[in-house]
Amino acid sequence: MALNTEQRKQVADILKLHNYTDYKWIDPKKIIVSQWVRLKCKFGCGEYGRGGACPPQTPSVAECKEFFSEYGDAVIIHFEGLLDKPEDRHAWSARINAKLVQLERAVFTAGFERAFQMFMDSCCFCKDCTGSRETCEQPRMARPAPEAMAVDVYSTVRQAGFTINVLSNYNQKMNRFAFLMVH
């Protein structure tokens, strides 16, 4: 069920308090979950099987679809980044993701018991990820990225009104998106 106006304002106030201004509300039923996204994880991504919050640690594509269908309101938060060196990405993402965990907690403790954060990149908290939930070094902090939940981030954020394009080198500004499932 979607939030009422007062509840939305409550969440908007929390977002503002945490300095998030570049975001959009979306109907989670419009989040596009696709099998091709999982295939791209499985073939072509170096983190498959090595990330404790990445496939195959995350639910199946069908289970991901079901998960999103249980929500009535979500927020997509936009981040921009242009880094001097590709190797700086890990630390940049870890800093942002750690703050997103605090945001999820603030929304949860405000009474939104379903609050669940998906990061703007893979987890990135540890230099060497253990690669499984069972051995995760920070199990209370780790969360999946939307693509690890089979979300077609490109089509979903475009549909919400954001701009995103495939980048071909590190001189181009990154557009990254975190999804906060609210209710």
* Nearer CB in complex with ligand SF4: 80/128: 128
Question: What is the tally of helices (H) and strands (E) in the chain?
Answer: 5, 4
* Nearer CB in complex with ligand SF4: 122/156: 122
Query: Tell me, what DSSP letter sits at residue 60?
Result: P
- What is d(CA 37, CA 60) in angstroms, rounded to the nearest whole number? 12
Q: Cβ 147 to ligand SF4, closest distance in Å?
A: 15
> What is the Rg, in whole angstroms, of the alpha carbon atoms belonging to the chain?
16
Q: Contacts with ligand SF4 in 119-178 (CB under 6 A)?
A: 123, 125-126, 129-130, 136-138, 141-142
Task: With beta carbons less than 8 A apart as the criterion, state whether 152 and 34 touch.
Answer: yes
Q: Cβ 92 to ligand SF4, closest distance in Å?
A: 14
* Nearer CB in complex with ligand SF4: 103/157: 103
Amino acid at 131: G
Give the x/- contact pattern for ligand SF4 in 27-66, rule: CB under 6 A: -------------------------xx-------------
By Cβ distance, which residue is nearest to ligand SF4?
52
The C-alpha torsion from 166 through 167 and 173 to 176, rounded to 10°, is 40
Q: How many residues bind ligand SF4 (CB under 6 A)?
A: 12
Count of Cβ atoms closer than 10 Å to residue 65 Cβ:
16
* Nearer CB in complex with ligand SF4: 11/142: 142
Task: With beta carbons less than 8 A apart as the criterion, state whether 75 and 15 touch.
Answer: yes
**101 belongs to the binding site for ligand SF4 (CB under 6 A):** no
- What is d(CA 11, CA 20) in angstroms, rounded to the nearest whole number? 11
* Nearer CB in complex with ligand SF4: 136/178: 136
Q: Which two tokens stand for residue 19?
A: 């300095």
* Nearer CB in complex with ligand SF4: 145/182: 145
Binding site for ligand SF4 (CB under 6 A): 52-53, 123, 125-126, 129-130, 136-138, 141-142
